[in-house]
């Protein structure tokens, strides 16, 4: 882990360093970064495979070597200041807060300094960013304290796939950070199995005065291939989301997101219950178009027409 945590900051610093010093000798780069020439060459080989989504010609960082010197000929946008959307800032703030509390993973001081800068910038740009991130801070603090003190928790948790809120008593096992989201992995005494609870969906949490004792057969989740995998019986919906509805792709797991014009996006997302998906689509109103499946589009139309019929007795307010 130490090698990874040392290499990542160096890789991030290399591009702006090379941009400021075109034609710099590789030996000089090695001396400035306090690593060997061989390590610099390995870093440059890795940078050559990094870049913008698409990862084809014109997307990847491009380097030019002449003798023992190196020059960046395409920077893949790394010379421009980073601009985060509100959703991206929220995810980054939450991820950094969780990362700062994981001892031995990174330099916590550096993480906290970066976090302070991002919070300050996000707060100036849009006050809701920091406010939303702090909405799950209470859950993060309680989970972290419970893990350190080996205490059980009682949580009130929202499950979006069923659109339900349930009370559960859980035995915390570990805190996971996956794709910018924080999860509590715990033994759920209701389900009698290991479950993952996303922190921003924990509506209330209480630390119990009893020890957390997951059973011996409780095993950690294998997250190497991602947390969300296709399950038997799940269907696929293809939705085009207007800019105001893009939060759906941030809040719910999606298999694919294709950027559209003007900030719109088309997503593919799995769902188990048609009724739940119909409610989600209707709640988005004109900000969503159902592309597939046809059965879902028909169910949404049918539910909308039924709602119109039920409201037919209400007085109209047409302008005279």
First to last CA, the chain: 72
pLDDT(248) > 50: yes
What is residue 223's predicted lDDT score, i.e. its pLDDT?
A: 60
* C-alpha span between 165 and 157 (Å, rounded): 5
Q: pTM for this structure?
A: 0.46
Sign of CA dihedral 183, 226, 163, 233: negative
Report the pLDDT averaged over residues 25-41.
88
What is residue 189's predicted lDDT score, i.e. its pLDDT?
A: 94
- Mean of per-residue pLDDT scores for the chain: 76
pLDDT(73) > 80: no
What is residue 124's predicted lDDT score, i.e. its pLDDT?
A: 44
pLDDT digits 0-9 by tens, 88-103: 566 666 666 666 665 5
* pLDDT class of 34 with cuts at 50, 70, 90: confident
CA 139-143-146 angle, to 5 degrees, is 140
* C-alpha span between 171 and 186 (Å, rounded): 5
Identify the residue with better confidence: 44 or 295. 295
The bridge status of strand 24-25 relative to strand 265-271 is: unpaired
What is residue 129's predicted lDDT score, i.e. its pLDDT?
A: 40
* C-alpha span between 144 and 97 (Å, rounded): 11
| Strand intervals (E) in 212-293 | 235-241, 256-259, 265-271, 288-292
Percent of the chain with pLDDT over 70: 66
- Map residue 61 onto helix, strand or coil: coil
**Domains of the chain by residue range:** 2-74, 86-135, 137-211, 235-310
How far from 14 is each of 47, 57, 111, 134, CA to CA, in Å? Answer: 9, 21, 19, 33
CATH of 2-74, one of 1.20.120, 1.10.10, 1.10.3720, 1.25.40: 1.10.10
What is residue 260's predicted lDDT score, i.e. its pLDDT?
A: 87
pLDDT(109) > 90: no
pLDDT digits 0-9 by tens, 129-143: 444 445 567 888 888
- In terms of residues, how long is the chain? 320
pLDDT(224) > 60: no
pLDDT(1) > 90: no
How far from 82 is each of 223, 271, 289, CA to CA, in Å? Answer: 29, 34, 31
What is residue 263's predicted lDDT score, i.e. its pLDDT?
A: 85
Identify the residue with better confidence: 188 or 54. 188
Report the pLDDT averaged over residues 133-157.
84
Identify the residue with better confidence: 17 or 202. 202
pLDDT digits 0-9 by tens, 258-308: 988 888 899 998 887 788 888 888 888 889 999 999 999 999 898 888 877
**Looking at domain 137-211, which CATH architecture does it have?**
Roll (2.30)
What is residue 295's predicted lDDT score, i.e. its pLDDT?
A: 92
Are the beta carbons of 114 and 95 closer than 8 angstroms? no
Region of poorest pLDDT, from 6-15, 47-56, 171-180: 47-56
Are the beta carbons of 184 and 199 closer than 8 angstroms? yes
Are the beta carbons of 153 and 205 closer than 8 angstroms? yes
pLDDT(221) > 60: yes
pLDDT(87) > 50: yes
pLDDT(230) > 70: no
Write down the CATH number for the domain with range 235-310. Answer: 3.30.70
* pLDDT class of 2 with cuts at 50, 70, 90: very low
């Amino acid at each position: 882990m130490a090698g990874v945590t040392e290499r990542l900051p160096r890789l991030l610093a290399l591009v702006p360093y090379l941009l400021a010093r075109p034609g710099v000798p590789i030996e000089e780069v090695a001396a400035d970064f306090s690593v060997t020439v061989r390590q610099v060459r390995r870093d440059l080989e890795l940078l050559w495979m990094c870049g913008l989504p698409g990862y084809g010609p014109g997307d990847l960082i491009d380097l030019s070597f002449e003798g023992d010197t190196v020059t960046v000929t395409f920077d893949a946008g790394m010379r421009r200041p980073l601009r985060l959307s509100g959703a991206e800032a929220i995810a980054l703030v939450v991820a950094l807060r969780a990362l700062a509390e994981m001892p031995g993973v990174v330099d916590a001081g550096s993480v906290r300094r970066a976090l302070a800068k991002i919070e300050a910038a996000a707060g100036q740009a849009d006050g809701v960013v920091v406010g939303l991130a702090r909405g799950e801070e209470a859950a993060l603090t309680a989970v972290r304290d419970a893990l350190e003190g080996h205490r059980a928790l009682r949580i009130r948790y929202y499950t979006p796939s069923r659109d339900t809120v349930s009370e559960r008593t859980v035995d915390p096992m570990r805190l996971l950070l996956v794709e910018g989201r924080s999860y509590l992995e715990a033994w759920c005494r209701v389900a009698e199995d290991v479950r993952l609870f996303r922190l921003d969906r924990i509506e209330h949490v209480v630390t119990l005065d009893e020890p957390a004792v997951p059973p011996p057969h409780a095993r950690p989740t294998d997250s190497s291939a991602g947390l969300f995998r296709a399950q038997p019986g799940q269907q696929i919906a293809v939705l085009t989301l207007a800019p105001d509805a893009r939060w759906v792709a941030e809040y719910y797991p999606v298999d694919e997101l294709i950027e559209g014009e003007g900030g719109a996006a088309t997503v593919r997302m799995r769902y188990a219950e048609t009724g739940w998906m119909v409610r989600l689509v209707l709640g988005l109103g004109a900000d969503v178009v159902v592309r597939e499946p046809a059965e879902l589009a028909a169910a949404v139309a049918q539910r909308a027409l039924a709602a119109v019929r039920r409201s037919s007795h209400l007085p109209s307010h047409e302008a005279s």
